[in-house]
Amino acid sequence: MGLQDRDYSRYGDQEERWWGGGGSRAGSGSPWTPGGTGTSMTVTLIIINVAIFFVDMVLSGSGGQGFSRMAEWLEVRGDTIVKPWQWYRLLTYGFVHDRNDVWHIAFNMLGLFIFGRSVEQRVGRKEFLWFYLLGVVLGGLVASLRWAGTAVLAGESILNYGPPTIGASGAVMAVTILFAFYYPQVNVLLMMIFPIKAWLLAVLFVLMNLFGLVGGGGRVAYEVHLAGAAWAAAYHLLGWKLEPLIPTQLPKWGELLKRRSPRLRLHDPEKKMAQQEAEVDRILAKIVATGLDSLTSTERRTLERHSKLKRQQRAP
């Protein structure tokens, strides 16, 4: 669903940290200004979402009002949690939107664009990507657990119980709340009209979703929004960093085979004998120069082995 009644905003020009929690890279400049180099991860995510939306319109065709081919393949359901082979849905649902309601994707992507670029600037591209994706997964997990638990308590079958969940609003909520942690004193325009501090907007979003969840009804996934808000709060206040936990590069197959495959060694008696003879010559030269007492225990054993080998070779 759209991010809590579509109340999106613009930034003002104030910038202060809220509560001083860890888990972020210090940023500078206006929150409007995207930092770093390379393609913005926020813009990349928006492009992917919009592309999937249009692909869904093409694939769904005239399947009827409310029918969505992509949702059918990628949505989260109550029984997803008990079907490990469908756990991919815990991520993919966040990239599918209601094709019959363009405002669903429009306001989600607007919120991601407005707040995401500043958060991305603050934490970095890779960290932002993992934060966003984990927000999607946690929201999907909460949605599936909610309907699975409700079915069990009602004595109903988990299969096909409850409405499916689609949309990026849980992850967008996480990004919005994290923005409020980083820029609490920034002025935003509620409904593009009323100026309000970012921290107050975050509090309003959480309260509205709590009341919505308690009141029930409607098609809004309040529990997914609240999961996103909780994820953002935990990430910031506990000072978590995700990038160090994620491998940046997978080992190549050649390197794996090289590590696992022992090297074959060819036995060359003549080469081994020549090396031993050279070592014995060195030890004998040392005896002549510094005396027998200067030999180490290893050198003494080498002479003993060599002497024994020579006796065996002379034996009839």
* CA angle, 162 then 165 then 166, to 5°: 160
Q: Is 166 helix (H, G, I), strand (E, B) or coil?
A: coil
Q: What is the pLDDT of residue 315?
A: 63
Q: How would you write the pLDDT of the chain (316 residues) with one tens digit per residue? A: 444 433 333 333 333 333 333 333 434 344 444 444 567 899 999 999 999 999 988 887 765 666 788 888 999 988 888 899 999 999 999 999 888 888 889 989 999 999 999 999 999 999 999 999 999 999 999 999 988 888 888 888 878 777 888 999 999 999 999 999 999 999 887 777 788 898 999 999 999 999 988 887 667 888 999 999 999 999 999 988 887 777 666 556 556 555 555 555 555 677 777 777 888 888 888 787 777 777 788 888 888 887 877 777 766 5
Q: What is the pLDDT of residue 204?
A: 92
Q: What is the pLDDT of residue 226?
A: 95
List, in order, residues 6 or more apart from 26 with CB less than 8 Å away.
Answer: none
List, in order, residues 6 or more apart from 94 with CB less than 8 Å away.
Answer: 136, 139, 140, 166, 167, 168, 170, 171
Q: Which residues pair with 188 in a beta bridge?
A: 196
Q: What is the pLDDT of residue 63?
A: 58
Tell me the residue type at 57.
M
Query: How crowded is the C-beta side of 260, counted as CA atoms within 13 Å?
Result: 7
Domain boundaries, the chain: 41-245, 270-314
Q: What is the pLDDT of residue 254?
A: 56
How deeply is 150 buried, as exposed, middle or buried, from its count of CB atoms within 10 A (0-12, 13-18, 19+)?
Answer: middle
Tokens of 36: 């770093």
List, in order, residues 6 or more apart from 64 with CB less than 8 Å away.
Answer: none
Query: Residue 242 — φ and ψ, nearest 5°?
Result: -95, -35
Q: What is the pLDDT of residue 232?
A: 96
Is the pTM value of this prediction over 0.75? Answer: no
Q: What is the pLDDT of residue 24?
A: 37
Give the H/E segment covering residue 145: helix 125-153
| Eight-state DSSP code of residue 160 | T
Query: Residue 40 — φ and ψ, nearest 5°?
Result: -65, 130
Q: What is the pLDDT of residue 200?
A: 92
Q: Which residues pair with 196 in a beta bridge?
A: 188
At the fourth CATH level, the homologous superfamily of domain 41-245 is Rhomboid-like (1.20.1540.10)
d(CA 138, CA 150): 18
Q: What is the pLDDT of residue 31?
A: 45
Chain-centroid distance, C-alpha 42: 14
Q: Are 209 and 25 in contact (CB under 8 A)?
A: no
Q: What is the pLDDT of residue 93?
A: 93
Beta strands in 182-276 (DSSP E): 187-190, 194-197
Q: What is the pLDDT of residue 5?
A: 39
Tokens of 185: 């004193």
Chain-centroid distance, C-alpha 253: 23
d(CA 110, CA 193): 16
